[in-house]
Structure 1
Amino acid sequence: MSGEIPFSGLLLAGGRSRRMGTDKALLPVGETPLLDIMVDKMYRAGCDDVVVSRNESGYTQDIITDKGPLSGLHAGLPECQHSRVLVVPVDMPGLTVEAMRTLASASGSAYFEDCALPCALKRTTDLKDYIEHQLRSDNGRLSVYALLKYTRATALPRVDERTLYNTNTPEQWSTFWRSEETYHEGK
């Protein structure tokens, strides 16, 4: 990967999984937990290091809790080795290595059109201050879209729906895997 700008990975796996009813990060894909699958994909996409933001012992835990993905960014970004960071949610099992590489190679902050996560961010003091302010403010903007707007992120053309399919409920998880089987049978 000579000539390419090195980048870190930040896997957001700290949600409560209320709608799923069980920890999404530990959902099995075959014999392997989804968390491990996503970390592996991030390394295969070219991340030099991967930080896992997860409110469990042994992982980077939220400092300011119960504020959604911005809490994970706040805790995880300082742990990343590089200024360029690929941010990936754990609950997108269809996210491809190619899609991750596309984001990581974009100049500046980037995301796929109509989908705030995954995204690529440049870790700066200004970004850290923005996130800190939003988390500590009584009327802070906690959405990743607001953060992307603030960073003037580029919206890249959307990849296929299966790649960015978010699995938040048992029904979505089941639908995703049924569509995967149909997709692979058709190849």
Structure 2
Amino acid sequence: MGHTIAVILSGGRSSRMGRDKAGLPLGRETFLDRLTTGLTPLFDRVYVSVDRPGRYPGRRELPDLRPGQGPLAGLEAAFRSTAAEAVFLAAVDLPFAAPALAAKVLERAGEGDACVIRRRDGKAEPLFALYRRSCLGPLTGCLDQGRRAVMALLDRVDCRWLAEEELPEFDLERMLWNVNTGQEYRRAVAVEEEG
């Protein structure tokens, strides 16, 4: 597949959580540590997408070229700041995301511009997905037009949709659980403690 990196989207202002989600502890690691540890064996490099440099000292940071413009800006910075042929995006607020699921996305990606999981209810999971460099032109176009939603990009590229039915061995409800609020975080801690 060529030079492939992982980019962990460190989140925006975390307004619903009230504090930086990347640093939230879960078990013995933070959200950011869990994802970094899990993804490192699968990719050439793991970066953290940040709105400003120096947010996570000691990490490989990829500062947004368009701060405040959301995940597409993080993906644009990944392609413009590295030589990667493909970028695996992972949102930091998916603390139960399994490396095996990321590996499956890579394995099933095919030749398309992107590979994204689609749930049974039709909902897409674009923030735990693979994007190839061929997405750069369309995504820059989206950002230039003020279209910040990742789905706007997926409408413009050849996307390989990976149906939930193709992933029977994975508990997607848990692995793609987006922890956004204090209440959800407390529930995530309880789930982690239950094992």
TM-score tier by shorter-chain length is 0.7 to 0.9
Equivalent positions of 1:3-82 (< 5 A) are 6-44=3-41, 46-58=42-54, 59-82=61-84
Q: Which residue of 2 aligns with 1:177?
A: 189
Q: Which residue of 2 aligns with 1:130?
A: 138
When the two structures are aligned, how many residues end up with a matched partner? 175
Matched to 1:34, the amino acid is F
Deviation of residue 118 (structure 1)?
0.7
Q: Does structure 1 residue 163 correspond to structure 2 residue 175?
A: yes
Considering fraction of residues, name the structure with more strand: 2
Q: TM-score, normalised by structure 2?
A: 0.81
Percent identity between matched residues is 30
Kindly indicate whether the alpha-carbon contact (under 8 Å) linking 1:74 and 1:131 is maintained by their aligned counterparts in 2: yes
User: Which blocks of at least 5 consecutive residues in structure 1 are unaligned?
Assistant: none
Kindly indicate whether the alpha-carbon contact (under 8 Å) linking 2:90 and 2:127 is maintained by their aligned counterparts in 1: yes
Kindly indicate whether the alpha-carbon contact (under 8 Å) linking 1:51 and 1:79 is maintained by their aligned counterparts in 2: no
* Match for residue 150 of structure 1 among 146, 149, 156: 156
Q: Which residue of 1 aligns with 2:127?
A: 117
> 2: distance between equivalents of 1:8 and 1:110?
15
Q: TM-score, normalised by structure 1?
A: 0.84
> 1: distance between equivalents of 2:182 and 2:133?
34
Secondary structure of 1:171's partner?
helix
Matched to 1:64, the amino acid is R
Kindly indicate whether the alpha-carbon contact (under 8 Å) linking 1:86 and 1:103 is maintained by their aligned counterparts in 2: no
> 2: distance between equivalents of 1:112 and 1:130?
20
> 1: distance between equivalents of 2:36 and 2:190?
23
> 2: distance between equivalents of 1:50 and 1:168?
23
Matched to 2:76, the amino acid is H
Deviation of residue 5 (structure 1)?
5.1
